[in-house]
Chains A and B, each alone.
Chain A
Amino acid sequence: MNNSPDPVEIVRDPEFQNLARRKNSLSLTLSLLMFGAYFGFIALLAYAPDILRARAGAATLGIPIGIGVIIFAWILTGIYVKWANGAYDAMVARVRGVRGNRQ
């Protein structure tokens, strides 16, 4: 077991499954949020530009919304890094530790 643990066995391990499931669900949620924000913005631009044409001060509403998508993207990557470099890496270390000192 020290040399090469059977990958099928690791994949069946509930702890590994938990780790994979949590990671997949966060990646998927954040991706969908990003797609929603970006393609929502593009759909408005393409099919309902009047909404973005509305005045916002001297500018138009499209300007803060466009900048907002950029900032939103940055926040999402921040959330992911914070989770992955904390909770997720701890789970990885635990599974790797149990699985026969794989360092």
Chain B
Amino acid sequence: MNTQLGQLSPVAIAFFLAFIGVTLAITYWAARQSKTTAQFYAAGGGISGFQNGLALAGDFMSAASFLGIAGLVATGGYDGLIYSVGYLVGWPVVMFLIAEPLRNLGKYTFADVVAYRLRQKPIKTMAAIGSIVTVIFYLTAQMVGAGTLIKLMFNLEYETALIAVGFLMIAYVLFGGMLATTWVQIIKAVLLIGGATLLTVLVMNRFGWSYGNLFSAVRALPNGANLLDPGQYKVATSPLDLVSLSVGLMFGTAGLPHILMRFYTVPDARAARKSVFVATGFIGFFYILTFTIGYGAAVLVAPQYLAKPAPGTPGFGNNMAAPLLAEILGGGPFLGFLSAVAFATILAVVAGLTLAGASALSHDIYAGVIKGGQSDEKTEVRVAKMATIGLGIVAVLMGLLFKTVNVAFMVGLAFAVAASANFPALLMSILWKKFTTQGAVASMAVGLFSAVLLIVLSPTVWTDVFHFTSTPPVPMKNPALISMSLAFLTGWIVSLVTRDIEAEERFEEQMVRSYLGADKATIASH
């Protein structure tokens, strides 16, 4: 097979320019409606439940989950499905435990909820640190992925690709705020689901519209039995490590700041619920597609093309399974279309992440901590915009710095930190009357610190990044089981030995608002 992958195709460029043109036009339109803090952080609360559902799906389906999971299925088989299931089951948790209290109690960030009846300054400082660390790990993984992908697909220099991504992402967020970011997510979600559906249709058409035929063809491959064998996972070092991975995937979603922030863009709890249902449906459907695409690629794409890229070999790495399959089934134009979609996907996810990071800096740190909640609206938006530029630059620098490092672990780390630093304190602050400021700060600090420390001492960093020859001190690759348990335990114990009378007295008020929602007037002036 002769592939056009890595050559600049006119179709890819045309689709790509069309995407940039449309999204920049939306940004220009949104710029006039991104002046106040409510508009900049939350699109004025005017996004509908269905739109927000698509945008949540857009925020969540990164290029890593499209190309990465399809590639993982193509070369590792069942491993890909472990990730798909784990990423999806976080959504019901968000729905049943987090979405409504978050919508009813907070204003723009999840730190608002944790700080609702606890002391603002220590809580917001610690929650903002948790948010920013999560965002930076996630952002770095996306940027390195972006540079590598764009280099492979468009044959652009890695550095040029990063700077292009950085500029576009800053432009969306800086000028268009949450409104433009939301529409970029929606367009990207539609394109990505549309592209993946089309590719799946072509795969199923090739196999006579029968999964039986597809799996028979997989089984007939030299490594076919392994690809279909659930017990051959390489994503964890032991059964316990697999459980730890699954804990991190499930509860990480409920602690991702850029996901949690989206619940403030809808008018009420009712729309928030609907948006989770819509997002769960689209994301679940999308994972079933990527799984089909992955097995299709295992059969139809010659294995040497999926091998790690090395000079003198035809390998592109398993991330290119879906694009290569697209070219086989739909020719050069379809490859061009999917390449443009992958680029759009990366742009949308980094924009969402940057906005969440900037909000933690401006709303939590600047307005909440430095100004004690008394900030001037215009200044706060200006701080948010400066933070956007700053984070954009940090993202590009991190991408350059970690260029040669395998960053797959960074997404796992982002999920582990979100599940350990952010989720336990958020849940306890909603549910537990006797939760104290000290308990919350200690829980967030222990969750954050233990997740990062455990991963540094694990094989993923100790051996694969630092190249130490000694046995890694922690045998598990996935820290969430331990770090999340520690965070809950710390929050519980510290709250038992401390007392926060004011927080206890305000619990009924929080409860009423959490169940019944705030008055519209109160939300507006709060």
Contacts and interface: CB of A to CB of B under 8 A. Distances in A.
A77 B95 contact: yes
A19 B515 contact: yes
B243 to A, nearest CB: 6
B230 A46 contact: no
Given A19-B515, A71-B284, A73-B280, A49 B231 contact: yes
B515 A20 contact: yes
Interface string A33-58: 01000110111011101101100011
Given A58-B215, A74-B284, A7 B516 contact: no
A63 B212 contact: no
B27 interface: no
Interface of A is mostly: helix
A100 B246 CA distance: 47
Contacts of A23: 515
B93 interface: yes
A49 B91 CA distance: 26
B512 A39 contact: no
B273 A81 contact: yes
Contact of A52 (B95, B96, B230): B230
Contacts of A102: 519
Interface stretch (B77-85, B153-161, B409-417, B463-471): B77-85
A93 to B, nearest CB: 9
Given A11-B511, A70-B287, A46 B89 contact: no
Contacts of B239: 46-47
A82 B294 CA distance: 34
Interface string B80-106: 011011101101110111001000000
A73 B243 contact: no
A50 B229 CA distance: 9
Interface in B195-252: 211-212, 215-216, 218-219, 228-231, 233, 239-240, 242-243, 246, 250
A49 to B, nearest CB: 3
A101 B233 CA distance: 58
B162 to A, nearest CB: 34
A31 B274 contact: no
A63 to B, nearest CB: 7
Contacts of B287: 70
A74 B516 contact: no
Interface string A1-39: 000000110110000100110010001001100100011
Place the interface of chain A in its size category.
35 or more
A85 B511 contact: no
A66 B81 contact: yes
A16 B512 contact: yes
Nearest to A29: B96
The residue among A20, A23, A27, A63 with the most chain B CB atoms within 10 A of its own CB is A63
A80 B96 contact: yes
Contact of A31 (B97, B218, B508): B97
A7 to B, nearest CB: 4
B81 A73 contact: no
A89 B100 CA distance: 12
B281 A85 contact: no
B260 to A, nearest CB: 17
A66 B96 CA distance: 21
B284 A70 contact: yes
Contacts of B88: 69-70, 73
Contact of B273 (A16, A30, A73, A85): A85
A59 B512 contact: no
Contacts of A7: 508-509, 511-512
Contact of A58 (B86, B212, B269, B284): B212
A89 B230 contact: no
A14 to B, nearest CB: 14
B276 A77 contact: yes
B449 interface: no
Nearest to A41: B85
A19 to B, nearest CB: 6
B512 A67 contact: no
Interface string A57-100: 11110110011011101101110110011000100100110000
A60 B242 contact: no
Given A31-B96, A77-B92, A80-B95, A42 B284 contact: no
B250 A30 contact: no
B95 A59 contact: no
Contacts of A74: 280-281, 284
A20 B246 contact: no
A67 B93 contact: no
B462 interface: no
A69 B81 CA distance: 11
B211 A59 contact: yes
5 contacts: A20-B515, A31-B93, A53-B230, A59-B215, A60-B229
Interface of A: 7-8, 10-11, 16, 19-20, 23, 27, 30-31, 34, 38-39, 41-43, 45-47, 49-50, 52-53, 57-60, 62-63, 66-67, 69-71, 73-74, 76-78, 80-81, 84-85, 89, 92, 95-96, 102-103
Interface of B: 78, 81-82, 84-86, 88-89, 91-93, 95-97, 100, 211-212, 215-216, 218-219, 228-231, 233, 239-240, 242-243, 246, 250, 269-270, 273-274, 276-277, 280-281, 284, 287-288, 291, 508-509, 511-512, 515-517, 519-520
Given A30-B96, A49-B230, A77-B95, 6 more contacts: A31-B96, A38-B250, A49-B231, A69-B89, A81-B273, A85-B273
